[in-house]
Amino acid sequence: MIEVSRTMPVPAEAVYEVLSDGWSYAGWVVGSCHIRDVDERWPAAGARIHHSVGMWPLQLEDTTTVRAVDPGKSLELEAQGGALGTADIVVTLTPYGTEETVVRMAEAARGGIGGFIPESMQALLLKPRNEESLARLSALALGRAR
């Protein structure tokens, strides 16, 4: 898995609040551009976000499913992108003092076209994308915490 991390200037509860809002995903997940629907149970295991990825008019309908959740601590997701394949994503929150949180995001492509890309090549694409995603997540969490 390709892993990135970021120390965010907010408590873990503030970060988890954003993760718990499925409608916010297009605001912080790079590539996700339109949320079509969010299961009411989000982020419970088995709940889904139905969204689109890519730039209009070349968008792909995607679904992200919660595989496991430890409220306030971690969220394991599976993003299904049709022919592009499936990605396993794990987001973990580790309190750092009382006012900061270290957030780690690990992702691995499997199946479809993405599954044929060697991990070293995946890293070239996923690392900067996920670093930007964590920067956006941090900004949203900070904005909500104010």
Q: What is the mean pLDDT of residues 46-70?
A: 90
pLDDT of residue 85 exceeding 90, the answer is no
Calculate the alpha carbon distances from 77 to 13, 35, 43, 88, 89 in Å: 19, 16, 10, 6, 5
pLDDT of residue 67 exceeding 90, the answer is yes
3-state secondary structure of 22: helix
SS (H, E, C) 68-125: EEECCCEEEEEEECHHHCEEEEEEEEEEECCCEEEEEEEEEEECCCHHHCCHHHHHHH
CA angle 49, 45, 131 (to 5 degrees): 60
* pLDDT for 33: 87
Say whether domain 2-145 belongs to CATH 3.30.530.20: yes
pLDDT of residue 27 exceeding 90, the answer is yes
pLDDT tens digits, 88-134 = 999 999 999 989 999 999 999 887 777 778 888 888 888 999 999 99
Evaluate whether 27 touches 132 at the Cβ level (below 8 Å). no
The average confidence (pLDDT) of the chain is 92
Other beta carbons less than 10 A from residue 113's beta carbon? 12
Q: How confident is the model at residue 59 (pLDDT cuts 50, 70, 90)?
A: confident
Domain boundaries, the chain: 2-145
